[in-house]
Amino acid sequence: MTDWKAVGVGAIINAVLTMVLTVVIFPLFFLGPVIGGFITTYMSKDNLNYDQGNPTAGAADGALSGVIGGLIIGLIFILGFSALSAIIGLVFTEIGLVAGTITLITGLFITLIAVIVGGVLGALGGVIGFSVKEKGSVIVEVD
C-alpha cells in the first residue's frame, strides 16, 4: 500500500531540489531524486509493515516519487519555454513556429529523461530510506 502524502511530498522535494541544484551546482542535480525517494520512504506510515529485509516496497515508493517528480520537472520546463516561444512568435512570425516545435520536442525529451533518471535514483533513495528506517525501528530489550 502506498502512502500518497509521502509520495507527493517526496515528488515535490525531488522537483525543487533537482531544479535548484541544476541551476546552482549542476553536478549535484542527482541528489534531488535520491533525497526525494529517501524522504518518501522514511515518511511513509506503511513503512513499519514492510517485510523485514525486503526493501522492494521502499524502492517502489521512491521510484514512484521520482517518476512524479520527473513529470513535474518536465511540465515546468515545457510550460516555461512555451511562454518564451510564444513571445518569440509574436516578435518573429516565421521563427516562432520553428521555435515552438523545437521547444515541444526538447521538452518531451527532457521530460522522458527526467522521468527515467528520477525513477531510478528515487528507487535508490527509497532503498536507503528503508534501510535507515529499518535500523531505527529495532527494539532492544535489556534484562
Per residue in 95-130, pLDDT (tens digit) is: 656 666 777 788 788 889 999 999 999 999 999 998
- Tell me the range of 17-26, 40-49, 92-101 where mean pLDDT is highest: 17-26
Dihedral sign, Cα of residue 38, residue 44, residue 48, residue 53: negative
C-alpha cell at 39: 524522504
Alpha-helix residue ranges (DSSP H) falling in the chain: 4-24, 31-43, 56-91, 93-136
C-alpha cell at 33: 531524486
pTM over 0.85: no
Say which residues have a Cβ less than 8 Å from residue 121's Cβ, sequence separation at least 6.
30, 33, 34, 37, 66
Say which residues have a Cβ less than 8 Å from residue 82's Cβ, sequence separation at least 6.
100, 103, 104, 107
What is the Cα–Cα distance from 52 to 61, expressed in whole angstroms?
A: 16
